[in-house]
Every structure is written in C-alpha cells, then in structure tokens.
Amino acid sequence: MTAPAPSEVWLVDPGARPSPPPEPAVDPEPFHRTLPGYAPTPVRALAELARELRVGELWVKDESHRLGLPSFKLLGGAWAVHRLLLERAGLPLPGAGWPELQAAAAGAAGTTLVTATDGNHGRGVAHIARLLGLGAVVFVPAGTSAARIDALRSEGAAVQEHPGSYDDAVTAAAAAAERQGWLLVADVATGRDRTVPRWVMEGYQTIFTECDRQLPGPVDAVVVQAGVGALAAATARHYLATVRPPRLAIVEPLSAACCLASARAGRRTSIEASQASIMAGLNCGTPSLVAWPHVAAATTVFCAIDDEWARRAMRRLAAAGIEAGESGAAGLAGLLALADDAPARAALGLHAGARVLIVNTEGATDPAAYRAVIGASAAAEVGP
C-alpha cells in the first residue's frame, strides 16, 4: 500500500457558524417529475466500505444517469430555465410543469441561452435548450477535455473556449450575454445577477427530496463535493430544514479549495491556485455569492484532497458496480481521506452506528480519462 495522498482538513466550531440566510422554500421536485423520462436516481448501499470505514451504514445517491445525461446538473439548469422563461412570459409558477415550459419557450423563439462550465452544468443547459428549440452558447476554460467539448456540441451548443480559468469563463459568458442580449443561465453568482444562480442551486434539492423517500431513515453525516458550492448549499438548505440535521463535510481538490480557504478566512474569498485537478467539475476559484452563506452555516468539516484520493474512490465505486467520474467520486474520496483522521471523525460523528450519505455526481463524462483510472490492474485495489 502506498502512502496516503495529501489532504487538508479544516474543522468548524459549530458555535461559531453564522445563521443560515432566510429564503422562501420552493420545492422544484414537482416540476422535475413532469420532465420527459423523469425517474428518481437510485440510492445504493455500500456495506463493505461501511465496515472498512467503521460506520454503520454508507449510502450513495447515484447521479451517473439523470434524465438522459451522465450527471445531476440538469436538475439545476432545467429549473432555472423554467423559472426564467415563465417569469419573462408572465406565467404563474405554482403548478407549472413541462407543458407550461414548452409554451413559454415557444413564445421566446429565437432566444439563446448562454453559460459557462468546467464540468456538466453547460451540458445540462444545452440539453434543455435543445429540447425547447432554443439556442445555446457555452463558454469553457482553456484546457477543457475534447470529450467534454464534444458532449456540449452533441447537444447543439456553440462552444467557446476562453483563455484562463473557469472564473474567467464565467466573466466572459456574462459579458457575452449583456453584449448579445442572450439569457445568462449561470450556476455561480459573482456580482449583480444572483437570482438565476439561486434557482440553479434550488433545483439540486430534488436529489435530497428523493433521498428522504428512498433511505430507510435519517442520516447522521453527509459528505458532498463542492466547486462553486451550489450542490453543497442545496444539501445545507435541505437538511437544515429537518428536525435533526446531519453533520456536513465539504470536499474539494487541493488545488481549488476555495470553500476551505473561505472558511479559514471567515469570509468568502478567492484563491489563485492552478485549479488543474482531474476533478474538472470542481476546478473553481471562488464560491458563489448565493451558495456560500448556506455552506458556511451548515458545514462541520472542510476537506481538500489530492487527485489520488479521487482515483482511489473511482476504483472503489467501480468495484461496487457504480460508474463515477473524477468529480463524481469526490464525496467518497473525501470520506476515505477523513476516515483515519480522529478529530474529523469525532466532528462528523463517524462512529460504528453512524449512517452516512455521499453523492456520486457524475458518470464517466470523459471516457478516456475514466479508462485511464479504471484499468484491470487498478480495479483490484481494495484498500481505502
């Protein structure tokens, strides 16, 4: 067994956490249930890993196939487009579903949606645009893999590779929207536009509404990955509203740990690291303005991991019959890294009877990269 890869952990004093921001509770799941091909994604038990990690139960919500795409991201993109187009058309939101969205899109013929992505959000926006007969332009940071660009183009999107980081692509997409009169469907709030990123974040809560029905009981700890923090914020929003909220751990790449840096600073902050992790969907340098307050209010443990942890987690999930890309496996990767950290275990309540939830956020979105990690020899690895 090789030495453990580097990781960094920041524990939060629960008494020092800020209060969560008050926001109206809007449930996106009834809308999602009207989408063509909707079905809840499965929750799978990982009994062998639970024993190795010395917890009672370990469950993974498997988002490797969601509404015809290999990630959860369509949930946020579709909900944001739904709310955006209905609002523009002056149509009421309560009770509106796919037929009403189609009608609103028909009245917005010729409209182009634009966004930035370093993972799967752009594909989700492009997919919903194609289904609605709208145009889509997606900005990606330099170095985005050919497989991910091809996937965007397969949805009919025009792809613009922008020099620099994901944050630079976000800025370029917003400028193009203002210049061209396009509709910006951003999943990160950095300045004036906070409404649409809030809707994207809101859309992800369907994952946990489904979990409430699928799991045999409440969970004690949730370990979830973060890029700009939208999924983590959706996790926080959902569980902070429950009777006994589970403890929350946030996982990021070492080279893009903007949430950990913000927690350490006591305020939302940006990082200047290379953001070149194989966990491409998490290569973000600044937490979203609308996500960070929820993340700060709920998180017990921030964990930044080396890429080797993601590779290990991918292999472990593959051995359990679950396809997970590099970002998808990050939740398990963080749990593996935290398993032997005594202070983190205590903070998260990872005892022999604990029930733990992770989310596999994507399948093999870059097939070549996936094959490079999941080989015949690598699949034999059994240690965490």
Domain boundary among 141, 170, 192: 192
The number of folded domains in the chain is 2
What are the strands of the beta sheet with 355-360, ordered from one edge? 7-11, 299-305, 247-253, 221-225, 355-360, 57-62, 43-45
65 and 131 part of one domain:
no
Kindly state whether residue 1 falls inside one of the protein's structural domains: no
Q: What's residue 22's pLDDT?
A: 86
Q: What's residue 272's pLDDT?
A: 81
State pLDDT tens for residues 316-353: 999 999 999 999 999 999 999 999 999 999 999 999 99
Residue keyed to tokens 């993974």 = 60
Question: How far apart are the C-alpha atoms of 107 and 84, rounded to whole Å?
Answer: 13
293 and 334 part of one domain:
yes
295 and 240 part of one domain:
yes
Q: What's residue 358's pLDDT?
A: 98
- Give the pLDDT band (50/70/90) at residue 119: confident
- Give the pLDDT band (50/70/90) at residue 274: low
Kindly state whether residue 198 falls inside one of the protein's structural domains: no
The alpha carbon torsion through 183, 152, 61, 283 (nearest 10 deg) reads: -80
67 and 78 part of one domain:
no
Q: What's residue 273's pLDDT?
A: 65
Q: Which pTM does this prediction carry?
A: 0.94
Q: What's residue 3's pLDDT?
A: 60
Catalytic residue annotation: 73, 118
317 and 370 part of one domain:
yes
Higher-pLDDT residue of 132 and 188 is 132
State pLDDT tens for residues 134-188: 999 999 998 899 999 999 999 999 999 999 888 899 999 999 999 999 999 999 8
State pLDDT tens for residues 227-236: 999 999 999 9
State pLDDT tens for residues 1-59: 456 688 999 999 998 899 999 877 789 999 999 999 999 999 999 999 999 999 999 99
Q: Find the CATH number of the domain harbouring 157.
A: 3.40.50.1100
Kindly state whether residue 313 falls inside one of the protein's structural domains: yes
Structure tokens at 174: 């917003």
Structure tokens at 120: 């799967």
Section 247-252 average pLDDT: 98
Q: What is the CA radius of gyration of the chain?
A: 19
Which residues span the domain enclosing 135?
74-192
| Least confident span in 75-79, 114-118, 329-333 | 114-118
Mean of per-residue pLDDT scores for the chain: 93
- Give the pLDDT band (50/70/90) at residue 293: very high
Q: What's residue 2's pLDDT?
A: 56
What are the strands of the beta sheet with 158-162, ordered from one edge? 158-162, 135-141, 112-116, 183-184
Kindly state whether residue 197 falls inside one of the protein's structural domains: no
